[in-house]
Amino acid sequence: MENLTGGTPPVRYLPCVVPCKLYFGNIKSIPAVSQGLSAMLAGRELTAGILMSQVISNVPAAMLLARFTEDYEPLLLGVNIGGLGTLIASMASVISYKLYAAQENARPGRYLALFTGINLLFLGVLWVAAALL
């Protein structure tokens, strides 16, 4: 598989998966964290999934929050919708930005502004739609 510059894309993100699994697996054993996240999620899985995705990306958010709830459907909706919004919300967005920014005559500031505006618009629309379900 080649990237836009003609070379093979580096595998920089895979090494995060194992440490994330170890960290999130062990974090539940800390009573204050476990109780706090369980209380935060109770009945608010959709919102928590969306908001946490904006800060730590949607896949790590799913890995973290799934350990503290039994109500998976709104959580999964939240982390999937949460892939929209900020650039960090989805690793695919970070990769696309880096590929674009590396191009000659790229305008990364304009790209970021347009990307964020469109993503926040769709995030809002889908958040409302999911909340009404």
Neighbours of 3 (CB within 10 A): 13
Among residues of the chain, what percentage have pLDDT more than 90? 62
What is d(CA 42, CA 104) in angstroms, rounded to the nearest whole number?
48
Tokens at 113, concatenated: 């502004």
Across all residues in the chain, what is the average pLDDT? 84
**Confidence grade of residue 9 (pLDDT, cut at 50, 70, 90):** very low
pLDDT surpassing 90 at residue 8: no
Q: What is the pLDDT of residues 31-43, one digit of tens each?
A: 888 888 888 888 9
Which residues have a Cβ under 8 Å from the Cβ of 102 and sit 6 or more positions away?
Answer: 4, 5
Predicted structure pTM score:
0.77
What is d(CA 74, CA 68) in angstroms, rounded to the nearest whole number?
13
**Confidence grade of residue 29 (pLDDT, cut at 50, 70, 90):** confident
What DSSP string runs through 38-99?
HHHHTT-HHHHHHHHHHHH-HHHHHHHHGGG-S-HHHHHHHHHHTTSSSGGG-HHHHHHHHH
Residue type present at position 43: G
Maximum Cα interatomic distance, the chain, rounded to a whole number of Å: 52
What is d(CA 1, CA 88) in angstroms, rounded to the nearest whole number?
24
pLDDT surpassing 90 at residue 22: no
Domain parsing of the chain, residue ranges: 14-132
What pLDDT is recorded for position 24? 63
- Identify the weakest region by mean pLDDT among 8-12, 37-41, 93-97: 8-12
Q: Exposure of 19 by Cβ count < 10 A (0-12 exposed, 13-18 middle, 19+ buried)? A: exposed
